[in-house]
Amino acid sequence: MDKQLRKVVIAGNWKMNKTPAQTTALINEIKPLVKDAKCDVVVCVPYIDLFAALEATKGTNIKVGAENCHWAKSGAFTGEISADMLKACGVPYVVIGHSERRTYFGDTDVTVRDRTRAALDAGLTVILCVGEYLEQRQQNITMEVVRQQVKIALNGVSEQELDNIIIAYEPVWAIGTGLTATAQQANEVNKGIRDLICELYGKTAADKTVVQYGGSMNAANAQELLKQPDVDGGLIGGASLKAADFAAIVAAASK
């Protein structure tokens, strides 16, 4: 399948870090370093930082995303934020199904599907996270797990709507641990995801679908990971909080 048909997307997932003032400062530091990027650049920030991020990125090539959204339009869901609220704020991207949401906050394959549906209905672009635990990799069921996550999340999603979905393969065992899948391991699973998209939607859709790698991508390993034929960018954790490191990853993706 032709990698030239796809854009490369580098998205930072800031997790629970940075105040609004710190958000402005970090984005101002990042802006001149990525202004000539030949890939899409996104920063996904905590809810409280969205307005600061939107203001700081005005007139730049950096887009803003949220880190989650609820599946309902409104209602008695104290502490939650709807996709329509994000859209009304001017936020174009949202991360759905990150393993930390699944592990710590009870997200399931079904709630990830419902959140994805709500985000698409609101006109957002979804960064859909999938990935296996260490025990599942050791049991050689990585692709079974990942295929199930993708199939459930995309249930009811049309081929046209697939244009607004980026899939991020994030092996849970490589998130925040310092461990990283080898470039070959990352590409193998990303290719498996693309093969599944081909089964579900056809080759044209599979060729166009952006499949990122997450899981401790950093300035040192980004180039090797990004040169893989089925790795179309990265969802970056810790390295996205350091302007120079994030910019180095963007530079690697721009080659």
pLDDT of 155 over the 90 cut: yes
pLDDT of 175 over the 90 cut: no
Average pLDDT over residues 95-112: 97
**How crowded is residue 247: how many other Cβ atoms within 10 Å of its Cβ?**
22
Q: What is the pLDDT of residue 215?
A: 85
Average pLDDT over residues 86-109: 97
Tokens 């869901």 correspond to: 77
Q: What is the pLDDT of residue 168?
A: 98
Q: What is the DSSP letter of 98?
A: -
- Which residue in 70, 98, 100, 132 is the catalytic one? 98
**How crowded is residue 194: how many other Cβ atoms within 10 Å of its Cβ?**
22
pLDDT of 72 over the 70 cut: yes
Cα end-to-end span (Å), the chain: 19
- Which residue in 170, 188, 199, 224 is the catalytic one? 170
Task: Determine phi and psi for 22, rounding to 5 degrees.
Answer: -70, -35
pTM of the model: 0.97
pLDDT digits (tens, 9 = 90+) for 201-244: 999 999 999 999 998 899 999 999 999 999 999 999 999 999 99
pLDDT of 87 over the 60 cut: yes
Average pLDDT over residues 106-129: 98
Domains identified in the chain and CATH numbers: 3-253 (3.20.20.70)
Quick check: 87 and 122 in contact, CB under 8 A?
A: yes
Structure confidence at residue 190 as a pLDDT band (50, 70, 90): very high
Q: What is the pLDDT of residue 146?
A: 98
Quick check: 100 and 15 in contact, CB under 8 A?
A: yes
pLDDT of 2 over the 70 cut: no
98 is catalytic: yes
Q: Which two tokens stand for residue 62?
A: 């950096």
Q: Can you tell me the distance from the alpha carbon of 142 to that of 165, in angstroms, rounded to the nearest whole number?
A: 21
Please name every residue paired with 211 in a beta bridge, in sequence order, or none if there are none.
167
Q: What is the pLDDT of residue 219?
A: 94
Q: Does 1 or 122 have the greater pLDDT score?
A: 122
Tokens 């498996």 correspond to: 192
Structure confidence at residue 3 as a pLDDT band (50, 70, 90): confident
Contacts for 98-106: CB closer than 8 Å, 24+ residues apart: 98/13, 98/67, 98/68, 98/129, 98/170, 99/129, 99/131, 99/170, 99/172, 99/175, 100/15, 100/175, 101/68, 103/172
Q: What is the mean pLDDT of the chain?
A: 96
Q: What is the pLDDT of residue 1?
A: 55
Q: Which two tokens stand for residue 134?
A: 């260490």
| Exposed/middle/buried for residue 223 (C-beta within 10 Å: 0-12, 13-18, 19+) | middle
161 is catalytic: no
Structure confidence at residue 179 as a pLDDT band (50, 70, 90): confident
Query: pLDDT exceeding 90 applies to what percent of the chain?
Result: 94
> Containing H/E element for 200?
helix 183-201
Quick check: 212 and 234 in contact, CB under 8 A?
A: yes
Q: Can you tell me the distance from the alpha carbon of 34 to that of 40, in angstroms, rounded to the nearest whole number?
A: 10
Q: What is the pLDDT of residue 176?
A: 77
